[in-house]
Amino acid sequence: MLRIIDKYIFREIFNTWLIVMLTLLAVLLTNQFARILGDVAKDKLPKDSVMDLILLSGLQYLTILIPIGLFLSILMALGRLYSNSEMSAMMACKVSSLGIFRPIIMLTIPLVIISSWIAIDIGPKSILKIEKINNEAKRKLDLSSIEPGRFVVDKNLGTVIYAEEVDESNELRNVFLRYITPEGEIEVVTAEKGNQIDIEDEDQRFFVLKNGKRYIGNPGTTDYLIMEFQEHGIPYVLPKTRDVNTDVKSLPFDMLITSDDSQRNAEFHWRIGIPISTLVLVLIAIPMSRSEPRQGQFSKIFSGILIFIIYYNLLSAGKSWLENSIVPRAIGLWWIHALMLVFLVVLLLKKNGYFRRLSRVNFLK
């Protein structure tokens, strides 16, 4: 059964964690949303993929936001209890340290499980979906993305398309099209109507234009060919895309465990390092939040952010060293977690006055 004090501490930390998480997530997703809208405006992404990309990006951010959110929330919540002397009152009422930290563990365990699930399974799948959306966008010049009265430029295909009207069936009216032929000549086409059709070849499509004129030639010369047509099909080859299944970040976790490849081994240690670092940061936050009464609940935030930056920069550097076989596979990223645990031991000794007592003993000698 949860005691009143357990519910109180749990609620304080959880509410703080929720505020920190939502704030950081809102900032990151706002920047991502602006970038995605910019790509949509440049016709690099289809309009209907915006919400999917935002959701998938949010899942990616959670791998970092859950650890830092939990770390900062414990620092802030416990720091407030210390600064308001509430922690001293709890101790005076014979509430043990284990009793105070029990609600912290109750919140930490589910979040560590969630971060493990995202880092090991959900995160790689979201990367794979994002890459597939980007690849489909590169291979798709969708007429539904053409807005009436607006030029659409595709640098990959070297085309410029303009339509005065677009009906509900995505048929274009009063079309202007400019593209570069395989021979290197520039062809300009004007037509009353136009639409796009698929063929059996998945790497090729056709623009079919009706009732128009073709102008073929090279700029700066007078050698032009002008033709009228009732129907004209223009083939174009879709750009090649990267095989997303070869990306280490999107590989299934079981393929990383059994692999001898250095990059896959580095990715394996990175994924399991996310939940491990979450737990280590929680252990560091508990003694680090301890402060003197009226010292201020935000006094440790700057130090906490600095520790988080150092920790994750070390993990990123360690991953790079693993990929380049600078660090042995057997060591992996374990040395970084061990280093942070050594820091935790030093912090505990300092908070419990061990170094002060040791210096006093040496002074008396």
Q: Residue 147 has what DSSP assignment? A: P
Counting residues of the chain whose pLDDT is more than 70, the rounded percentage is: 78
Pair 248, 350 in one domain = yes
pLDDT for residue 143 is more than 60? no
Position 71 confidence tier, pLDDT thresholds 50, 70, 90: very high
Residue 150 lies in a domain: yes
Q: Determine which helix (DSSP H) or strand (DSSP E) holds 362, and give its type and residue range.
A: helix 354-364
Domains in the chain, number: 2
Tell whether the model's pLDDT for residue 363 goes beyond 50.
no
For residues 12 and 120, membership in a common domain is answered with: yes
Together in a domain, 27 and 113: yes
Beta-sheet pairing, 225-237 with 159-166: unpaired
Owner of token pair 């790497």: 203
| 166 domain residue, yes or no | yes
C-alpha to C-alpha distances, 283 to 7, 301, 364, nearest whole angstrom: 20, 16, 34
Residue 159 has pLDDT above 60, yes or no: yes
Looking at the fold, whether 16 and 120 belong to one and the same domain comes out as yes
pLDDT at position 3 is 75
pLDDT at 66 over 70: yes
Q: Does 210 share its domain with 176?
A: yes
Give dist(CA 264, CA 256) in Å, integer: 5
Residues 16 and 151 in one domain: no
> What pLDDT, on a 0 to 100 scale, did the predictor assign at position 314?
93
Q: Are residues 283 and 179 in the same domain?
A: no
- 326 secondary structure, DSSP code: S
Note whether 274 and 319 are same-domain residues.
yes
Can you tell me the distance from the alpha carbon of 17 to that of 29, in angstroms, rounded to the nearest whole number? 18
pLDDT (tens digit per residue) in 180-206: 776 777 888 888 888 777 666 666 667
Q: Is residue 17 part of a domain?
A: yes
112 and 153 within one domain: no
Residue 138: Cβ within 10 Å count: 17
| Residue 338 confidence (pLDDT) | 94
Half-sphere exposure of 51 (CA within 13 A, CB side): 1
pLDDT of 31 reads 86
- In a domain? residue 335: yes
State yes or no: pLDDT of 144 exceeds 60. Answer: no
In a domain, 261, yes or no: yes
Say if residue 365's pLDDT is above 60. no
Residues 70 and 117 in one domain: yes
Q: What is the pairing mode between strands 186-198 and 172-180?
A: antiparallel
pLDDT tens per residue across span 213-225:
888 887 777 777 8
pLDDT band at 360 (very low <50, low <70, confident <90, very high): low
Burial of 235 (0-12, 13-18, 19+ CB in 10 A): exposed
DSSP assignment, residue 235? Answer: E
| Domain final residue, candidates 237, 263, 288 | 237
Query: Does residue 94 carry a pLDDT above 90?
Result: no
Residues 336, 303, single domain; the answer is yes
136 CB neighbour count, 10 Å cutoff: 14
Tell me how far apart the alpha carbons of residues 190 and 310 are, in angstroms, rounded to a whole number.
60
**What pLDDT score does 37 carry?**
80
Question: For residue 227, is pLDDT > 50?
Answer: yes
- For residues 11, 12, 13, 18, the Cα torsion angle rounded to the nearest 10 degrees is 80
Write down which residue in 184, 216, 237 finishes a domain.
237
* Rounded Cα gap, residues 257 and 352, in angstroms: 41
Of 300, 229, 280, 276, give the one whose Cα is nearest residue 75: 300
Above pLDDT 90, what percent of the chain? 13
Model pTM score: 0.72
pLDDT at 279: 92
- Whole domain around residue 228: which residue ranges? 143-237
d(C-alpha 37, C-alpha 54), whole Å: 11
Of these ranges, 179-183, 282-286, 352-356, the one predicted with the greatest mean pLDDT is 282-286
pLDDT above 80: residue 355? no
∠ at Cα 323 (321, 324), nearest 5°?
65
**pLDDT mean across residues, the chain:** 80
Q: Which long-range contacts (CB under 8 A, 24 or more apart) does 29-36 make?
A: 29/54, 29/57, 29/58, 29/61, 32/57
Contacts of 38 (CB under 8 A, 6+ apart): none
pLDDT at 281 over 80: yes
Q: ∠ CA 130-135-138 to the nearest 5 degrees?
A: 130
Answer whether residue 364 is part of any domain. no
At residue 50 the predicted structure's pLDDT band, cuts being 50, 70 and 90, is confident
pLDDT (tens digit per residue) in 297-314: 566 788 888 999 999 999
pLDDT at 117: 92
- Asked if the structure places residue 8 within a domain, the reply is yes
pLDDT tens, residue by residue, 310-352? 999 999 999 999 888 888 888 889 999 999 999 998 888 876 6
In this structure, is residue 260 part of a structural domain?
yes
**Is there a single domain that holds both residue 102 and residue 248?**
yes
Q: Are strands 172-180 and 204-217 parallel, antiparallel or unpaired?
A: unpaired
pLDDT of residue 2: 61
Tokens of 328: 């042995």
- Which of 177, 207, 237 terminates a domain? The answer is 237
Helices 50-83 and 262-288, axial angle in degrees (round to 10): 30
